[in-house]
Homo-oligomer: A and B are copies of this chain.
Amino acid sequence: MSSQVLSTQEDIALDAWLRLLRSSASMRRSLSAELDAAHGLAISDFEALLQLAHAEDSALRRVDLAEGLGLTASAVTRLLDGLERAGLVGKRTCEHDARVSYAVLTEDGRAKLAEASCSHVGAIRALFAERYSDEELRTLAELLERLPGAKCSTKE
């Protein structure tokens, strides 16, 4: 009794939160190791390329990329530094606003993405397919969508 600081009553929210944290960290670690070993990309690199590939003209303002990735502007500056150095994305200036610079997917970038997509997305799909039925997966995706910051999708 003396050791009970928190009530022992089931606290499902706390369990859900811990599982969310732990599983995302654990999956991020393993997927990241795989992706890096196979293609020399970090997870954020891959997702940036993916966002660009789905964007109009394969180009995005850095601000919008940050929004899409759930990162800050400064993180995107450094992320793109690396991708530009690797030749996977390029810069394009904006005619109407000299402040903005577009990040543009290069042909090399598109090729790299295609090459990495197969194994990476496959690994992601496998992780879920092993554990859930189609119905359960849809339920999970729907429930997760309601959480803060989760309004993201592969389409559009």
Q: Which residues of A contact B (CB under 8 A)?
A: 3-6, 8, 10-28, 30, 47, 50, 53-54, 58, 70, 110, 113-114, 117, 121, 124-125, 127-129, 131-132, 134, 136-141, 143-150, 152-155
Contacts and interface: CB of A to CB of B under 8 A. Distances in A.
Contacts of A144: 16, 19-20, 23, 140
Contact of A141 (B16, B24, B134, B150): B16
Contacts of A110: 5
Contact of A150 (B4, B6, B22): B22
Chain A interface secondary structure, helix, strand, loop or mixed?
Answer: helix
Contact of A21 (B24, B125, B141): B24
